[in-house]
Every structure is written in C-alpha cells, then in structure tokens.
Amino acid sequence: MRRVAMVGAGMTAFGELFDLGIKDMLPMAVTEAVTSVDKGFDRADIQAAWFGELVSTDGFATGILADSCGLLEIPVSRLENACATGNDAVRHGAMAIASGMFDVVLVVGADKVRETSTRTTFWDWMGMTRDSAWDFPLGLVAPANFALHAARYLHESPTATREHLAMVAVKNHKHGVTNPKAQMRFEITIEQVLNAPMVVDPFGLYDCTPQSDGAAAVILVAEEIADKYTDNPVWVRGVGLGIDRVMHQHKPDMTTFPPTVKAAKAAYAMAGIGPNDIDVAEVHDCFTGVELINYEDLGFCEKFGADKLIENRETYVGGRIPVNPSGGLKAKGHPPGATGVAQCVEIFEQMRGESTNQVDGARIGLTHNIGGPTAVSAITILSRDRA
Amino acid sequence: MISSIGTYLPCWGTATARLAGVDEDAITLAVAAGIAALRSVDVNDVQHVVIVSRELPLLEGGNSAALLAGLGVSSHVRVSEVSGGAPATLDALTSAVLGTLVIGTEVTPTAGAAAAFCGADGPSLTAVDRVTRSMPVATRDSSGRRSDYSDPRLLRVRGLGESLEQLDKSEPIIAAAGLAVRDAAALCDGTPPALPTIGASATIFAIAALIEQRRAGRIAGVEQAALSVATLGAQTSTIARDERSPQPRPTGEPTPGLDLPVSLAAYDRAFDAKLRLDAAKCTTCGTLSYPHRYRCLGCGSEAPTATVALPRDAEIYTLATIRVPVPGLISPYTLTLVELGDSGVRVLVKLTGAEAGSVKIGDAGRLVFRLVATRSGVPDYGYNLLPTRVAA
C-alpha cells in the first residue's frame, strides 16, 4: 500500500448557520482546505471526492458537492455511516490513494441539522437508529441510545458519578474557548452542568452536544507527490472501522462500545503503534458519558479508570493524554457528517503545531467517532512522522 | 358453569374511579382480565372468545387478532366482538357453551375489565328474563359523536322502571350491574355488591363478588332501558384479581407535531413475536433470538427455527428516562432494557404503572400487554414493564 499524506484541511465555523445553505457551506470548507495547502493547490488536481453526509439537505448530495465546489469532472461518492460518517469518509479517501487508484483525493463532510425545527430533529435522527416495528414506536431518541450505556456504566463503575460526566463538559467547554470555529466558546462549571435541566437521565443539557450545521474538508495525496504541495505533510498512519449488533437488546455488555474497540485495534495495528503512543485525541463526546467510555475503549486507561483520568485532569491540554483540544462535539458542535472530518482538521493542525489550543510536541494524534445505535465506530490515526 | 373468573383494574385513579393508563385501551384491559381468568385454565380449552364492550378501539381493521395474541390463545379460535353493556355480558354468559371465555371491558367512565371462563365446573348461570326497550338518553354514533338527553329521572321511571315492571318478579334480585350504587341498592334485596365499573365488565365483577360472598341468586344487567336477569348457582369458582391499589395518574399530554408513520409490512412481520412474546429457538444450537431473525444470533444457522414463549418476569439491566418533549409522545417516559427470567433474552420496553424515572437498575417486574403507540390510526400493541411494587 502507498502511504497517504494529508496536505490541506479546512472547515466552516460550526453553529446554527441559518444564513448559510449546504451549497454555501461546502465551497467554504473546500476553499479553506485548498488555500491551507502550503505550496498552493489547483483544485483541478483533485481526481476523486468522497462526501460524508448523514441526512440529505436540498436533495442529491454528490451533485450538490460537485456543482457547488466546481468539481464536475471527477467521480464523487456520497458516504453515510451514521455518526461515524466523517472518519469513514476519510478512511475511504485514504484507501483510494493507498490502492494506487488516485493520487489526489478530496474528502468532505457536512450536515445541515438546523435546516429543520429542533422539534423534529429527534425523530429525524432516530431514522438512523430505528427498527420500524420494534424500536421506533418506543421513542428511542438519540440521547436515549447513549444514556442506556451511561446508566449501566455508572451502575457498574465502583467510583464514577455524574460529577465525572460533568467534568468532561467543563473540560471541553474550556478547550473550546480558544477555537474560533467552535459553537460554544464559553466556560461552564460543574454546578451549572449538574443543575441544568435533564434531557435524558443521566444527561442534563450541558452533557449533550448542541445541534449544529457545518462542513469540513481535507485533501489527501499520495506519498510520491506530497512534496509538491507541502514540506509539512501529516501522514494518515492508520484507519479502522468497527461494527456491533444493531439492537441494544443484543449487546451483552453496555459499559463499553465494542465498535470502538474493534476500530481502534485495526487502526493501531495499521499504524504499528499502541494507545500509549497517542499524544492528542479528538474523540466522540456527543454525550459526556460517552467520552469516559471512549477513554477505556481506546486504551487510554484501564476499565473503569476513566473517572480518575478526568478527575486528575489528565485529558486536559497539558495533561498526559489531551482529549478534544478543539472543544469536542460538546463545545465545537456536531454536524454529524462533518464531525469526523473536522476532528481530522484539528489533528492536522496539531501535528503541524498550528492549533489554537496546541498540545506541545504532539507527533501522533487520533480521531474517533461512535454512532448509529452505538453500533459503528471509525478511527483515524494521523502523525507528523511518515512511519 | 363459570369455572374461572379474572378481573383487572388499572393502577391509576382512585379506589372508586379507576383510570386507564395512556398505554391502555379496551383490548389491553380485556387481555389483562383474560390472562387472570386463564391462570387456572389450559388455553387449549378455550374454544371461543366473546368480548363485550362499547369502546372497542377499531370499528374496522380488527381488534380480535391482538386480543387472541395478548391472551396467548390460538389465532384459530373464534372471536365475537359484541357491542354492548352489562346486559349483553350477562346474555353472552347465559348462552355460552363449554370453552367460552367471555370478557367485558371498558375504558370510561371508570376503567376495568373482567373475564369469565365457562368450563365443566363452578356455579351455573341461567337466564331468567330479558327486556329490550329503547330509552336512548345517551347515544353515540359510529363516528363517535355523543348526544346526551340529560334526564336521569325519565330514564329511571320510564326506562328502567318500566322494564322492571315487565320482568318476572318471582324472586328478588341480589346484585345489579350497570347502575350507580344508589340505583342498584334501590333495585336489590339486601346490600348489592359495590362494583368498580358500570358497563360490560360490571356483570362479571358482580358475579365475582357474589361468589366471594358465597351468595347465590338473581343478578341483573342493566343498560339504560335494557335489562337482562339471570340466576347464579351456589357453587364456588376460581377468582383471580389483578387489581393493584390505585395511585394518581401522571398528567401530561403528547407533544404535538407528528403522526408516527407505520409500515404495515413491518408490523405484519413482527406481529406474532411482538404480541405473543415468542422467541425463535435455533434448532441447531438452542440460542433464543428475539426478535426472530433469519440468521441465528448464536451459531449463524439459517435453518428454520422453533417458536418458544418467553418468560415474563423481568429485571432491569439498564434504563433511560427521556424528559425532553418528543413529538407524538408524552414526556417524561422511561425506557428499560430488561432481562427476561433466566432466558438470557433482553427486550427494550417502556415503563408502565409507575412514574417515569421511579425505577432503577436491578429492579424486578413483569411484562404486560399494552398499547405501545398508535401510528397512522393503527394500534401498535406490545409489552411494557410493570415494576414489582415494593412495600414502603
């Protein structure tokens, strides 16, 4: 397989972008990625594109990307893999180059969540998680999928409490303050989190990601031509994707997300590294408790050690293993298709020492999504080092 | 012979006025009563089910398949849906043949259901007289539109009073179903049993009360000016009451904004497993799969499976209480993932019979047949978790 280099990355701000349509956000993110390329980039070099979008907005997805970004001469494919869409799109772009089929590939992720009323969003997102006869009529809304895990996790963990969930929100809000692209750039306190209205027990308002619009894009090229675009490429060292049984009824242990464990195993193996080699990570914190479980599934700590990790501030920037320096989904925002790609944008900047919340000396970074009815995870490992 | 009786009262409301839960209708109430009656009966002995109500959920589209599935009775058993009140239930019982399960069920004004199985033993119930006259002070047409003439004295004097005049009065009446307490007392000799309902189920509640009081004699079923009288024999029979003490029903209206769509194809594929709580048992490795699936959860076998009934006793593995408004649903509500007996099977079900958020992991309960949702006009039945009440 050929090595794959990331040479450009860009994104729109995340937020309730009522003034921007999908046809505005896509070219904004792509143009930012194009202009981020150190030695200049002609978009005519792009040979193929993958577009990750969870829910179609304004119709035919691939045509909208090609049309709005001036990419009418290349093949464009749309990819949907629940909340793991973004990192899976990056994975597909990387595979296309690694295989030798293409030399320059564009990967875009976007979603326009706030194009519909907040009232219908729960049901719109439920489309991803529903079995028409069995789950749908019950009202298994998105937060409930994760709450079922978090409740069992808190039950089984000897030490974790709702306060530890709150600590995740406090950290990610603090991290988001310096990020100009983040949706929520303000700090919060443990008390605010604990006293906020409940959404789905044990998640209060501040335990949940906001609803966001946004787009992100990265440019991947083959090792042989990376020099043409930059002297500071970021290498796609590993990708992985894991799947689990769809219905919660069939998941024997709900204190873990087996898709994450599987995706991590594949990505670590491909990169030839282990969890201790990760200097910085962007993980899926759609709900605070999910970030804690991720620490364990990704191998950042032992089983039921996540509360200690956050309690000891080890996942803050400056700690042993900084997690979500961008603010994460919690503070940066969560347009599902864009989320994984935007995580790669952050780690791209981290690897090049350009992040607004830089982790000193970071050489290897990881991005992670978990989604659907907690049944799919996609992971990307990026590094300053070619191997 | 009335060999077995089952009664059911919803756990909501007050001691004198039970209210149906949001997940209950005339069918789920009937199922609860029927299951109680069938506790001492082999379901294979049920040859005919008669359901009497003025509030069957569907005029068209069918209530009977859900009723049979909920009862666990074969879908080959005959069902008669009778539109009627207390006299109709009495008539159904006096004309029933061996193997008939008669269920009276009602949602308003007070909710309840009662079922009687006609078997080889127990007290006899013999028709005495029937008077059918018209005094329609209250009417409801096929579209559900109600009219009320609002003249209770006219109804009492010219309606019921005149019907009673025409009745064979050789023996006294000792219980009356279908009347308010005061009216029943006026009609009866001695103190008639107080009944929790006033419609189709009241007749069977009255019979149950008489049997428990070891009284035999005439019982009247009344609905406006219609009157039916029968004589209850002196034998005893098995009575199973599923009647939890009442608690206030949570208030709350569905959040507006959405009519949940239904896929009838998916509804049809799930129907038996969902309403009968049957799992597929792999004929190769024995693993239970619920819902049924093409490929075995355990060994991957794609051979045809056997169908086995799942246990209904449940323990909460994990749960989530949804407190935000969700269009089409009443918030808050609790979803529980429960383990069924020692089957190794878990199901995702809504909490019922208790306030949302009032249960915790490890709590016990049982699955009960309920209306899970109504989607595009289709009642979507399944099971909810009724937690075991712990003594305070």
Question: Are the C-beta atoms of B296 and B345 separated by less than 8 Å?
Answer: no
ipTM of the complex: 0.95
Q: Could you tell me which of A4, A31, A30, A2 has the C-alpha nearest to residue A90? A: A4
Interface of A with B (CB under 8 A): 119-120, 122-123, 131-141, 143-144, 147-149, 151-152, 155, 197-201, 247-250, 254
Res. B341: pLDDT tops 90:
yes
The C-alpha angle with vertex B205 and arms to B203 and B211, in degrees rounded to 5, equals 105
Nearest CB neighbour to B321, from listed A123, A140, A201: A201
Q: Is A99 helix (H, G, I), strand (E, B) or coil?
A: coil
Spatial neighbors of B95 by CB under 8 A, at least 6 apart, are B127
Res. A117: pLDDT tops 80:
no
Q: What is the largest CA-CA distance in chain B?
A: 73
Interface residue B303 vs chain A (CB under 8 A): no
- Chain A residues touching B333 at Cβ < 8 A: 139
Nearest CA in chain A to B274: A134
Calpha distance A263→A250 (Å, rounded): 19
- Chain B residues touching A249 at Cβ < 8 A: 290, 337, 345-348
pLDDT, chain A, mean = 96
pTM for the whole structure = 0.95
Over the stretch A196-215, which tens digit does the pLDDT of each residue have? Answer: 999 999 999 999 999 999 99
Q: Higher model confidence: residue A23 or residue A131?
A: A23
Res. B125: pLDDT tops 90:
yes
How confident is the model at residue A155, as a pLDDT?
Answer: 98
B270 and A134: CB-CB below 8 Å?
yes
Rounded average pLDDT over A236-260:
97
Res. A128: pLDDT tops 80:
no
Calpha distance A160→B116 (Å, rounded): 53
Spatial neighbors of A252 by CB under 8 A, at least 6 apart, are none
Nearest CB neighbour to B320, from listed A137, A197, A200: A200
Over the stretch B10-35, which tens digit does the pLDDT of each residue have? Answer: 999 999 999 999 999 999 999 999 99
A249 and B290: CB-CB below 8 Å?
yes
228-257 in chain B: CB under 8 A from chain A: 255, 257
How confident is the model at residue B391, as a pLDDT?
Answer: 63
Over the stretch A227-241, which tens digit does the pLDDT of each residue have? Answer: 999 999 999 999 999
Calpha distance B104→B337 (Å, rounded): 33
Rounded average pLDDT over A335-360:
98
Give chain A's radius of gyration (CA, Å): 19
A155 and B361: CB-CB below 8 Å?
yes
What are the angstrom distances between the C-alpha of A249 and each of A252, B252, B300?
Answer: 8, 29, 18
Res. B374: pLDDT tops 70:
yes
Res. B392: pLDDT tops 90:
no
**Residue A344 burial by Cβ neighbours in a 10 Å radius (0-12, 13-18, 19+):** buried
Calpha distance A306→A383 (Å, rounded): 25
Res. B257: pLDDT tops 90:
no
Sign of the dihedral defined by the CA atoms of residues A278, A279, A283, A287, in that order:
positive
Nearest CB neighbour to A137, from listed B320, B322, B373: B373
Give A129's pLDDT tier (boundaries 50, 70, 90): low
The values of phi and psi at residue B163, to 5°, are -65, -40
How confident is the model at residue A125, as a pLDDT?
Answer: 60
The C-alpha angle with vertex A139 and arms to A137 and A144, in degrees rounded to 5, equals 145
